[in-house]
């Protein structure tokens, strides 16, 4: 009984997280167009990549401008393995190992090469990979590209029902959490009322979504592929996010932030900066490997899609836009960029200028909000937040 109570407390303190995850799990039932669902899957893949960049750039403060090398190498390896018929999980593991290995290899000169020099070095490393593959394809006379296609798991109905089960479990947990919360309230404030209201709405939406998904509308034709692939990216995204969060709030993460703030002092305190930087690069490379392995399923992998310097710039942009070092900021930034990109792509006049517009937004953010969206909310909007908290805590008699 005590165990149940402990569990309930845990769920209640993280109720907001559960609400967001539940919405994400029933999203296929809420978005009617398969196009936007696949856009969202791609955005989630890029979000994993953005998380990986936030680990090195936002947490450890390493200027790695060739991060796309790990992403692209993983995409090549995983795409090749999927293409030749290996199960997706093996391809994923191979991709993760490749990503981490490439990232660490790029970090080996970091003991002597620092700052701007390191940025140029890594940029050159990624470009060298891209250009040597291009040279090689010119040399052997055929273009080197892999189109792996979706992994076989997206065809399975079991996977589909497994995800509905998770959505249903989330529904049950949220319902229990809401009941416990309502029971424990004695004097109600506006904030409590609001949170109960929002939770109720989300719970109803979740129930609607689960019923809708169970109706079998989605398990025919191409829809099951889109929906299942979305679930695959979602699960890997949640896994990566949780793992990264655990790592950056562990003692290792504190050392990374210390290196970012003041490397000399960290060194004097007895930490080996080099080893910790390599550790950050390995974690980040592994995450980029996850993103790359998924990326191989949605696009044709060649020297340009895998190793283009634009990939690094896009993740850098998302990290800056959301706020470097805030983790959730990189995810929000990337979702904004990707959704904006596809929204503009369907607009008549702006279809090709989307990245230019995103670039202009990015310059404005660097100038006006140097901490990014989430960072400004955390560090700069203290007064506004206090005001909101004050309004929320007014009691209702």
| Binding residues vs another protein (CB under 8 A) | 63, 109, 112-113, 116-117, 119-121, 123-125, 127-128, 131-132, 135-136, 138-139, 309-310, 313, 316-317, 320, 352-353, 355-356, 359-360, 362-363, 366-367, 370
Comparison of 289 and 372: residue with beta carbon closer to another protein: 372
Least distance from another protein to the Cβ atom of residue 259, Å: 15
Q: How far is the CB of 106 from another protein (least distance, A)?
A: 11
Closest approach of another protein to the CB of residue 394, in Å: 40
Instruction: Please report how close the Cβ of residue 95 comes to another protein at its closest, in angstroms.
Output: 24
Per-residue CA distances from 267 to 57, 112, 118, 256, 264 (Å) = 19, 15, 19, 12, 5
Hey, what are 190's tokens?
């506006």
Q: Which is nearer to another protein, 284 or 354 (CB)?
A: 354
Residue that is written with structure tokens 């904030």 in the block: 191
Backbone angles phi, psi at 301, to 5 degrees: -90, 120
1 versus 363: smaller Cβ distance to another protein: 363
Min dist CB 339 to another protein, Å, is 18
Q: Alpha carbon 388 to chain centroid distance?
A: 29
Residue 292 near residue 72 (C-beta atoms within 8 A): yes
Tell me the C-alpha to C-alpha distance, in Å, between residue 374 and each of 34, 184, 317, 379. 30, 32, 14, 9
Task: Report, in angstroms and rounded to the nearest whole number, the Rg of the chain calculated over CA atoms.
Answer: 23
In sequence order, the β-bridge partners of residue 146 are 301
DSSP secondary structure letters along 319-374? HHHH-TT-SHHHHHHHHHHHHHHHHHHTSTTTTT-HHHHHHHHHHHHHHH-TTHHH
Q: Of 37 and 374, which has the nearer Cβ to another protein?
A: 374
The smaller minimum CB distance to another protein, of residues 172 and 364, is found at 364
Q: In the complex with another protein, which residue's Cβ is closer, 224 or 260?
A: 260
Count of other CB atoms within 10 angstroms of residue 222 = 8
Task: Output 136 or 391, the one with its CB closest to another protein.
Answer: 136
Rounded Cα–Cα distance for residues 205 and 386 (Å): 31
260 three-class SS = helix
Work out how close the CB of 120 gets to another protein at its nearest, in angstroms, rounded to a whole number: 5
């Amino acid at each position: 009984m005590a165990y149940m109570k402990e569990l309930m407390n845990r769920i209640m303190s993280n109720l907001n997280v559960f609400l967001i995850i539940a919405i994400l799990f029933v999203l296929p039932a809420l978005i009617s167009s398969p196009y936007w669902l696949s856009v969202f899957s791609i955005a989630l893949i890029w979000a994993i990549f953005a998380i990986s960049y936030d680990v090195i750039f936002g947490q450890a403060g390493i200027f790695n401008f060739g991060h796309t090398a790990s992403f692209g190498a993983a995409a090549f390896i995983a795409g090749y393995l999927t293409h030749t018929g290996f199960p997706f999980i093996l391809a994923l593991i191979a991709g993760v190992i490749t990503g981490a290995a490439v990232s660490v290899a790029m970090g080996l000169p970091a003991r002597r090469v620092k700052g701007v020099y390191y940025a140029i070095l890594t940029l050159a490393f990624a470009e060298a990979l891209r250009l040597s593959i291009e040279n090689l394809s010119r040399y052997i006379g055929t273009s080197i590209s892999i189109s792996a296609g979706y992994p076989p798991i997206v065809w399975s109905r079991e996977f589909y029902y497994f995800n509905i089960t998770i959505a249903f479990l989330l529904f049950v947990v949220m319902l229990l959490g809401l009941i416990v919360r309502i029971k424990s309230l004695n004097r109600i404030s506006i904030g409590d009322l609001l949170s109960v209201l929002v939770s109720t709405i989300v719970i109803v939406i979740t129930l609607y979504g689960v019923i809708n998904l169970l109706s079998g509308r989605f398990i025919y034709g191409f829809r099951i592929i889109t929906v299942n692939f979305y679930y695959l990216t979602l699960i890997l995204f949640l896994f990566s996010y949780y793992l990264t969060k655990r790592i950056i709030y562990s003692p290792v993460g504190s050392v990374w932030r210390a290196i970012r703030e003041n490397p000399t002092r960290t060194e004097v305190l007895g930490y080996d900066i080099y080893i910790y930087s390599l550790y950050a690069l390995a974690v980040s490379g592994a995450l980029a490997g996850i993103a790359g392995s998924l990326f191989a399923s949605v696009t044709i992998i060649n020297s340009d899609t895998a190793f283009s310097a634009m990939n690094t710039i896009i993740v850098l942009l998302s990290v800056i836009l959301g706020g470097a070092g805030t983790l959730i900021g990189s995810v929000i930034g990337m979702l904004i960029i990707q959704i904006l990109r596809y929204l503009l792509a369907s607009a008549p006049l702006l279809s090709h200028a989307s990245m230019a517009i995103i670039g202009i937004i990015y310059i404005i953010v660097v100038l006006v909000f140097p901490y990014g969206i989430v960072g400004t909310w955390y560090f700069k909007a203290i007064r506004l937040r206090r005001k909101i908290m004050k309004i929320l805590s007014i009691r209702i008699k």
